[in-house]
Amino acid sequence: SEFLAIAFDAAGSTTGSISVPFLLALSVGASNLTRSKGNEETDSFGMLGIASTGAIIAVLLQGAFSNTGLTGTLDLDASVGENAFASVLSQVVTVSFESFLSLAPVLVLFFVV
């Protein structure tokens, strides 16, 4: 029963902003090779459903065949209650710097080319 929520959450990996266009383009290309030349868009739409269902079934099968249960505890961070604004501000600075580092190659290519 613990794996049920995790399984449906695993389907979110197939509905992201990068994976959906990739899967649609892949399925349009596959349906272009296998189907008639007029209905590629309607023939390829079920591929997203199959991809999402595959992730759900894979996690459910893993839960059915594994002996481990989901156990554990979460440690609460005591510093959050003292000064929440400082904690959030430090995380914003860290995440902003990491975002800049990940976008830096794209920005360099944009301004150079």
* Cβ-contact 2, 63 below 8 angstroms: yes
**Is the pLDDT at 79 greater than 60, yes or no?**
no
Q: What angle do CA 45, 49, 32 make, to 5 degrees?
A: 30
- Going from N- to C-terminal start, the domains of the chain cover 1-71, 73-113
Scan for tokens 């961070």, then name that residue: 77
Residue 20 makes CB contacts below 8 A (sequence gap 6+) with 14, 48
End-to-end CA distance of the chain: 53
Confidence of residue 95 (pLDDT cuts 50, 70, 90): very high
pLDDT, tens digit (0-9, with 9 covering 90-100), for 58-70 = 888 888 887 766 6
pLDDT, tens digit (0-9, with 9 covering 90-100), for 11-60 = 777 777 777 788 878 877 777 776 565 665 665 567 777 888 888 888 88
Q: Cβ atoms within 10 A of the Cβ of 3, count?
A: 17
Scan for tokens 């199959």, then name that residue: 50
